[in-house]
Amino acid sequence: MDEQVIRSLIKWPDVPVCHGWLAFDRRGSWRMRNEYAQAHNLPGDAIQHEGLIHFIQRNLAHNESGEWFFQNGPQRVYIDLGYTPFIARIYPSKDDLLLKTTDDREIQPIDIFLDECGQILISCQFEIQSSKDLTGPMTTFEKRLETVFVLLHDHDLEIFSKSAQFANACGYAGKWCWQGKDYEINLISSKEIKKHHGLLFSARNS
- Supply φ then ψ for residue 3, to 5 degrees: -60, -35
Give the tens place of pLDDT for each residue, 168-190.
766 678 999 999 999 999 999 99
Extended strands (E) in 63-103: 68-72, 75-81, 87-92, 97-101
Give the tens place of pLDDT for each residue, 103-127.
999 999 999 999 999 999 999 999 9
Closest by CA position to 63, among listed 131, 129, 127: 131
Taking every pair of C-alpha atoms in the chain, what is the biggest distance, in angstroms?
58
Name residues of the chain where pLDDT drops below 70. Answer: 133-138, 169-171, 197-206
Domain boundaries, the chain: 3-195
pTM of the model: 0.89
What's the pLDDT at 205? 47
Query: What is the separation of C-alpha 88 from the centre of its chain, rounded to a whole number of angstroms?
Result: 9
Measured CA to CA, the distance from residue 193 to residue 201 in angstroms comes to 11
Measured CA to CA, the distance from residue 190 to residue 164 in angstroms comes to 21
